[in-house]
Amino acid sequence: MNLTKQSLIIACSHKEDRLKFFNFFDGLNVKQILTASHLSQMQDLLCDENLDVGLLAVELSSRWIKNTQQLSRLQKNHSGLTVVALVDEDMRLDYAHYREIIQSVSHLLYSPLNHNQLVRLTDLVDQTKQIVELETYRQGAFQASSLPLLLVNAKSQEIVAVNETFLKQFQIYKKRLLGQIWVDYLAQDQQDKINRYQSELNEKGQLEIQSKWSMNGVSFPVKLCAFYLNFNGVPHYLIECHDQSEHVFRQKMLYFLDKIRLLDFVTKRSEELLKQMVLWAEFDFCFMLTKGRKQKYQNIVFDYSKSNHAHHFIESNHDFIFRKLKTQRTLTLSEQASQHIPGDEFITMNDVESIMVFNCRVNKHQQAILVLGGERAFPRWQHLKLLFSKLVEHYRATMAFKMLQHSHESESQYDVLTNLLNRRYIIKHIEKSIEQAAQRKQSLAVVFLDLDRFKVINDSLGHDVGDQVLVNVAQILKDIVGDFGVASRYAGDEFLLLLNRHVSADNIKKVADSILKSVAEPVTLADGSEIKLTISLGIAVYPDHGKLVNTLIKHADVALYDAKLNGKNQYSIYRTELDGEQAKQSEEMVKNLEQAIESDQIDVYYQPKIDAKTEDIAGFEALVRWQHPELGIISPGLFVPLAEQSGLIHKIGLLVIEKAARCLKAWQTRYELPLTMSINLSPIQLNDNRLIDRISYVINQTGIQAKYLDFEITESEKFKSVKDALVMFNRIVDMGCTLSIDDFGTGHSTLDYLRKIPAKTLKIDQVFVKNIGLSPDDEAILDATIDMAKRVGHFIVAEGVETESQRQYLSHKGCDYFQGYLFSRPLPATKIEDILDQRAQILKNY
């Protein structure tokens, strides 16, 4: 065919393909090039008697030629017409269909077109002028390409040409490649597929393979892009060889970085992942050590070394390394480690070339180091350093989290604030004393006491004053009880005393009277002012009132309740009739609570949540209050447990959600602010299958958007089923609401539990905020918790922020929001509106 004397029609949908066809044939001096953008236009051109059409390049697709029958009719109607078929991307050819079409066309190409496909059409034009000669191509575009290229004879599979880019990139001599079978460089599993690859190349004209390429004794991942070319009738493959080492390395590193946060350094699964990391990094040694009794790093946490490196490290001296680790977290040497650290036995005797040592210290009780490296210089050293530094960060965070789970309240014997025994250890003391008393047939007494109206002190004067009061009372208890037993802080403003020495009825009363008298003396505060307070006590005696620790504490609590009901500021000794009285009182309290719900005595107070960056109000937490007409505000700590026991919590909960949502909607509209509202949910509410319907009802009634309602759940063991609770959490989130974990750090969360809860926010319990500047261990736990929460995408709310120094510390650590008396105590809705009015006025003036 000589297209210099005939016309050519290009008929396809895509403008880009038509343009590429046109440019290619235009460069080959074709007589006339016509284009058609739809089927009817193509048919009109073919039927034009004034045109001598020799070649038709037509699209195979649902819009053009669909099948071989149409192709046959086309050639029957236009004898002597050469057809080039262009398969559209949406056209799927099976092998049988392909074989039929290839019999009806001269060439089969695939959209989108590229130059390597078009070169195959050069045999259609006058070969004396237009065929691209092999040598011309080899010396021209092939060598000039910035891509690493191989040219392969399709019949012999031998490499006939290699360009300079390939030689430089893969550092190999041309003579070692020319004449070699190209598939021999592929991984064995790819070599087994070579017949299928060749068939696909010959049929489609192009092919992409992900494989491993072995050369110079080194194997590395590659992406091969192969194209079918024809030079003087001889088929060739043009192969682009793209080194994927960097891409694969980054993908693997990202994989490990993602998996690191799931490690807990205990399970077999985590051990296996650590081994994979070390094997992938190709380190000769990797081990972690913790300090033993002699304060030396001698305990092996794990050792994934090729030899006995960890034990050798323990036996060697490392003065230089440990001196450096005192002032920096990491010591790394990418090469020539023995020259930089001469005299270190571990490095010199093991021919260590590269080494990393990470200080993994959490606090003074939890110190560890991670050591890794090998006998050679490692490529991508900085990337490996980053990966394992992230491992160290996660180790520190998880160890701190485990300490948080067994916080100072349970790990040590003493309460941080009062220095009295804590709840856990007083119970142990009582249990042991009961055993001894049973053997000796002696008595002992348990005294339960708490401060009268302590909630009022905290709310009106602040937690700092409350803490001073608690410390003062603790000192009184320590002084008076010392000769008779031991005192403890049980919880909040509750104290528990064990009298196990010189126990008699007279001495028990003597201790109780002394406490009442001493506590009644005015307490001098740090600012010089004085405050008066009273205390109530309940007493239970072993064995008369119980023989088990839980029974004694329960009966002492019943007696305490009796003392409070009879006017406070006194003690009461347990008697059996109190159980009946307490039941009656509880029943009466439930009736009063039911009446309070009906008469709208249940109110909601709001505490602002402050954005740490802007220091503006971001939202509120809704807090339930019982506004009793005679007794004033009754603390939730008194009536919420009763509401949970009686089932009234569902009605109260709905009231709180509805009132909070209505206020929020009104404030959003009035002040044009995207405020949020946090509402507490008790475990009892979460066990209610109708909870979702209740929340949906409120959303529909108030018109509030679900995304502005945040429900707070407290770490708790009260769920009937953790699995069912997680289902409820997900249902709440599916509605569009959000979840927060309240009082974080005081409950029983595990890392796995934390990952499963679809919460976006953690609220750090105020006990840790209080100890900022007082307890370095609590600060370490706080820091690690914030860091870990940030890394898994949680927002942080710090509760109980009362001082500027606390705010600055938490802000520096990355807390997102604050709540506390530094900004505002909980306030009724009218007071909140006053604050928002003032805010609006200030902004207006600006």
Q: Helix crossing, 691-702 with 722-734: angle to 10°?
A: 20
Q: 383-412, pLDDT tens digit by residue?
A: 889 889 888 888 887 777 666 555 444 445
Whether 346 shows a pLDDT value over 50: the answer reads: yes
| Mean pLDDT within 25-29 | 73
Domain boundaries in the chain?
7-124, 134-243, 253-405, 411-575, 595-845
Q: Are strands 738-744 and 709-714 parallel, antiparallel or unpaired?
A: parallel
Residue 393: CB partners within 8 Å, gap ≥ 6? 787
Contact (CB, 8 A) for 444 and 498: yes
Whether 832 shows a pLDDT value over 90: the answer reads: yes
Q: 493-512, pLDDT tens digit by residue?
A: 889 999 999 889 999 999 99
Q: Which range in 21-25, 411-415, 519-523 is most confidently predicted, on average pLDDT?
A: 519-523
3-state secondary structure 768-782: HHHCCCCCHHHHHHH
Q: How far is CA 75 from the centre of its chain?
A: 64
Nearest to 814, CA basis, from 839, 830, 797: 797
| Mean pLDDT within 768-797 | 76
Give 411-575's CATH code, choosing from 3.30.70.270, 3.40.50.10800, 3.40.50.2300, 3.30.450.20: 3.30.70.270
Whether 160 shows a pLDDT value over 50: the answer reads: yes
In angstroms, the CA 153 to CA 148 distance is 17
Nearest to 313, CA basis, from 284, 274, 287, 339: 287
Residue 223: CB partners within 8 Å, gap ≥ 6? 208, 209, 210, 242, 244
Long-range contacts made by residues 253-262, C-beta under 8 angstroms, separation at least 24? 253/383, 253/387, 256/280, 256/387, 257/387, 257/390, 260/390, 260/391, 260/394, 261/394, 261/791, 261/792, 262/755
Which pLDDT score, from 0 to 100, does residue 747 have? Answer: 47
DSSP annotation of 754: H
Q: Which DSSP string corresponds to 394-463?
A: HHHHHHHHHHHHT-HHHHSSB-TTT-SB-HHHHHHHHHHHHHHHHHHT--EEEEEEEETTHHHHHHHH-H
Q: 458-480, pLDDT tens digit by residue?
A: 767 777 788 888 999 999 999 99
Which pLDDT score, from 0 to 100, does residue 409 have? Answer: 43
pLDDT-wise least confident of 279-288, 399-408, 427-436:
399-408
| Mean pLDDT within 558-586 | 78
pLDDT band at 689 (very low <50, low <70, confident <90, very high): confident
The position carrying tokens 């003579």 is: 175
| Mean pLDDT within 131-147 | 72
Contact (CB, 8 A) for 443 and 437: yes
Q: Which two tokens stand for residue 518?
A: 């001493």
pLDDT-wise least confident of 361-365, 540-544, 623-627, 828-832:
361-365
Residue 379: CB partners within 8 Å, gap ≥ 6? none
E runs forming strands in 183-274: 206-215, 218-231, 234-243
The SS3 of residue 38 is coil
Which pLDDT score, from 0 to 100, does residue 265 have? Answer: 67
Q: Which amino acid is at 30?
A: V
Residue 506, CB-side half-sphere exposure with 13 Å CA sphere: 1
pLDDT-wise least confident of 25-29, 521-525, 561-565:
25-29
The dotted CATH code for 595-845 is 3.20.20.450
| Mean pLDDT within 347-370 | 87
Residue 330's alpha-carbon distances to 370, 377, 593, 778, in angstroms, are 10, 18, 61, 24
Percent share of the chain, pLDDT over 90: 23
Residue 163: CB partners within 8 Å, gap ≥ 6? 142, 143, 145, 148, 149
Q: Helix crossing, 804-813 with 776-791: angle to 10°?
A: 40
Give 253-405's CATH code, choosing from 3.90.110.10, 2.40.50.140, 3.30.450.80, 3.30.450.40: 3.30.450.80
The position carrying tokens 């405050």 is: 531
Whether 777 shows a pLDDT value over 70: the answer reads: no
Q: Which two tokens stand for residue 291?
A: 């300090």
In angstroms, the CA 762 to CA 261 distance is 17
Q: What are phi and psi of 365, to 5 degrees?
A: -90, -15
Query: What's the pTM value of the predicted model, to 2 decimals?
Result: 0.46
Which pLDDT score, from 0 to 100, does residue 619 have? Answer: 94
Q: 559-572, pLDDT tens digit by residue?
A: 888 888 788 899 99
| Mean pLDDT within 695-699 | 93
Contact (CB, 8 A) for 748 and 390: no
Residue 390, CB-side half-sphere exposure with 13 Å CA sphere: 19
Helices in 88-154 by DSSP H: which ranges? 95-104, 115-118, 134-137, 143-144
pLDDT-wise least confident of 40-44, 54-58, 769-773:
769-773
Whether 716 shows a pLDDT value over 60: the answer reads: no
What is the overall mean pLDDT for the chain? 83
Q: Which two tokens stand for residue 135?
A: 């040598």
Q: Across the beta sheet with 485-491, what order do the strands follow?
A: 485-491, 494-499, 444-451, 535-542, 571-573
Which pLDDT score, from 0 to 100, does residue 751 have? Answer: 56
Q: How far is CA 138 from the centre of its chain?
A: 54
Whether 610 shows a pLDDT value over 80: the answer reads: yes
Domain formed by 7-124, architecture: 3-Layer(aba) Sandwich (3.40)
User: What radius of gyration do the chain's Cα atoms show?
Assistant: 40
Whether 126 shows a pLDDT value over 60: the answer reads: no
In angstroms, the CA 88 to CA 546 distance is 88
Give 134-243's CATH code, choosing from 3.40.1010.20, 3.50.50.60, 3.20.20.150, 3.30.450.20: 3.30.450.20
Please indicate whether the domains covering 7-124 and 595-845 agree at the CATH topology level.
no
Whether 99 shows a pLDDT value over 80: the answer reads: no
DSSP annotation of 138: I
Percent share of the chain, pLDDT over 70: 88
pLDDT-wise least confident of 351-365, 662-676, 709-723, 791-805:
709-723
Contact (CB, 8 A) for 536 and 450: yes
The position carrying tokens 């606390």 is: 806
Q: Which two tokens stand for residue 347?
A: 């490095």
In angstroms, the CA 480 to CA 517 distance is 11
The position carrying tokens 């104290």 is: 495
Which pLDDT score, from 0 to 100, does residue 130 have? Answer: 37
Q: Helix crossing, 577-598 with 649-671: angle to 10°?
A: 40
| Mean pLDDT within 227-249 | 81
Nearest to 374, CA basis, from 391, 390, 406, 351: 351
Q: 727-761, pLDDT tens digit by residue?
A: 888 899 999 999 998 866 554 455 555 667 888 88
| Mean pLDDT within 444-453 | 90
Name residue 633's beta-bridge partners.
Answer: 627
